[in-house]
Amino acid sequence: MPGQDSARKQSGNRRRRAPQRSRFSRLILVALLATGPASAWDDGPGPPRLTPPPGVVRASVVDVPRANEVRVDTGAGVQVVRLAGVALPPVGPQRDAAIGFLRRLLAGESVRLQRLDSRDDRRPSRGLLFREPDGLCVNLELVRLGYVRARLSKDLPGREAFVYYERGARRAGKGIWAARTQAASRPARTKPGLVAIDAPRARVAANDPVVYVTKTGRKYHRAGCPHLHKSRIARRLSEVAGRYEPCRRCRPPVPDRDRAAPASQPHKPSVP
């Protein structure tokens, strides 16, 4: 009958739409989980950045005791926050520059604190600080400008952002990376009293070593030969070739016959 046929068609359409609705609801659920409050990483178009997740603690900055620590007042008391993802620079100008920049950046400012560990009054709490109202991540800004090196941990949100900005600071030679770039471009220093020897001269010295002769002898010797106890005169091997004979005791090097200069001997007439 016509009424029964129309009812069957409507029920069939409902069965075909049901799987589509279920798939659509699953996609929405996956999207909500991916953008939940646990992730502060934003990899949208442009350079990567960190944004404060919902539910973070608001606090006011009290002071900056160290280059990787900030004292904040959360309303429930003053506590020290150790900046996550930030390595403490070595003692010296680099640490002083990092402390000075951090104090100028946070002077009289309010921040949002994202804790990465449980609250413990006996030690500083690790976390990320976001300046209000622009939401600038203080930890990431120190790395981006080259004041500190990134310290990556497994629980650090947005590790890719720290790697990205540290790589950019290193390539641009910012902050601590400027000193490394200048050191790499400086010529190598030699110790006092040492002279740099270029390769061609070193090869010539190896082919023409120094030997020693005496004032009265007709032989040349090595440096440690016992026959040099009375006199010792340094000469190149090419200078003594043909004029002196090698010592049989110390056995000094012998010049090549092809390279040795012929000795200047008086001309002997040929006998017919």
Domain ranges of the chain: 49-183, 199-246
For range 207-231, the mean pLDDT: 87
φ, ψ (nearest 5 deg) of residue 58: -90, 140
Kindly indicate the confidence band of residue 197, based on its pLDDT and cuts at 50, 70 and 90: very low
61 pLDDT above the threshold of 50: yes
Chain mean position to CA 198: 31
**Mean pLDDT along residues 141-170:** 93
Q: According to the model, what pLDDT value does residue 22 have? A: 57
Residue 51 has pLDDT above 50, yes or no: yes
Tell me: pLDDT of 166 over 70. Answer: yes
Asked if pLDDT for residue 190 goes beyond 60, the answer is no
Whether the predicted pLDDT of 132 surpasses 80: yes
Alpha-carbon distances, residue 177 vs 33, 63, 77, 92, 205 (angstroms): 39, 27, 38, 15, 41
**In the prediction, which pLDDT does 7 show?**
56
CATH of domain 49-183: 2.40.50.90
Higher model confidence: residue 116 or residue 39? 116
- Judged against a pLDDT cut of 70, whether residue 60 lies above it is answered with yes
